[in-house]
Amino acid sequence: MRYFARKVAFFLATLWAVVTLNFLIPRLQPGDPAEIMVKRLAGKDSQLDPAQVQAMRAMLGTPDGSLWSQYTGYLGELAHGNFGLSYTYYPFPVTEVIGQAIWWTVVLVVVTQVLSFAVGTVLGAYAAWRRNTRFDSVVTLGSTFLGTLQPFWIALLLIYLLGYTLGWFPTSGGYEAATPGFNGPFIQEAVSHSFLPALALLVVTPIGWVLGMRNTMIMNLGEDYIRLARAKGLPDRRIALGYAARNALLPSVTGFALALGGVLGGAILVETAFDYPGLGRLMGEAVENKDYPLLQTLMLLTTAGVLLANLVADLMYGVLDPRARRAQS
């Protein structure tokens, strides 16, 4: 039980750290942050909507309060789910803007993460089983090379090859004419628009799974229980899948959540390339328009999501592996 309590405590402490960081980032520069930002926006496109100043104030608080009172005020606003107004999509609250984009990214990230886990783990396990063969080196070197490529670049190449040249897939946006919702035409359009972004992520992400699975499995294949299984005359297939691979899979459970951060980073870049209507594109827009309330909420939300995924993975790991529950750290 202490294991689970400690993991939950770590999650809460990390969440607090991220919220505080989010509060501090705009205040790192000297002076009144709202004032500075208003000036910067005014300098950028001369006419400044007073409502934007209002939105800025709502996010950053009034300058006269102490840092502490600003902080407690900020925490209070967050607790009430008040993240301010977006000024790219003024006067819509940030939460509403994000609410429309979030599912696009969640589906994209989760689907590619699961597929890349499956592909990477199977390839890694098979490479370990056929260690030092041609298959092993092709898989290891191939996934290393692909994993070093920039996802945005892969995305542009896919757009060029499969989109413009061959015309197999739509290359931008999330859907065409269908009304968003749970209906056949919309789902069909959404899937065909998501295919290339998912493929771009799938090229670069399996590397971690391949190498991780391969190394753990090679280590496991040297263990005594494998020798016993061989001595008993169990079929190779059973030893590979039921014994070695099954145990090698365990560390990947925690890796699954940690890798989510990387996939998210890749998704931000890939979405920008495809103009895919998810959180990544929103983040790009927020940066371009200096929409700080939107940007900060996106940062907070994506980080909280990854932290939550980590918590779930840690708790699952505790259930799956009794040794983790007993370990000290």
Note the residues at the interface with other proteins (CB under 8 A). 10, 13-14, 17-18, 21-22, 25-26, 28-29, 40, 144-145, 148-150, 152-154, 156-157, 159-160, 163-164, 171, 258, 260-262, 264-265, 268-269, 272-273, 283-284, 286-288, 290, 292, 295-296, 298-299, 302-303, 306-307, 310
Minimum distance of other proteins from residue 39's CB (angstroms): 11
DSSP string, 257-301: HHHHHHHHHHHHHHHHHHT-SSHHHHHHHHHHTT-HHHHHHHHHH
- Comparing CB distances to other proteins, the nearer of 14 and 82 is 14
Contact partners, residue 147, CB within 8 Å, separation at least 6: 204, 205, 206, 207, 208
- Comparing CB distances to other proteins, the nearer of 240 and 305 is 305
| Long-range CB contact pairs, 16-25, < 8 A, 24+ | 18/300, 18/303, 18/304, 18/307, 19/75, 19/78, 19/300, 20/71, 22/296, 22/299, 22/300, 23/70, 23/71, 23/74, 25/296
Minimum distance of other proteins from residue 163's CB (angstroms): 8
- Comparing CB distances to other proteins, the nearer of 56 and 229 is 56
- Comparing CB distances to other proteins, the nearer of 121 and 171 is 171
- Comparing CB distances to other proteins, the nearer of 180 and 261 is 261
Minimum distance of other proteins from residue 187's CB (angstroms): 27
Cis peptide bond N-terminal to 151, omega within 30: no
Distance CA 108, CA 116 (A): 12
Minimum distance of other proteins from residue 82's CB (angstroms): 19
- φ, ψ of residue 180 in degrees (nearest 5): -55, 140
- Comparing CB distances to other proteins, the nearer of 62 and 172 is 172
Minimum distance of other proteins from residue 123's CB (angstroms): 18
Three-class SS state of 85 = strand
What are the b/e assignments for 263-278, b being 16+ CB within 10 Å? bbebbbbbbbbbebbb
Minimum distance of other proteins from residue 182's CB (angstroms): 29
- Comparing CB distances to other proteins, the nearer of 207 and 245 is 207
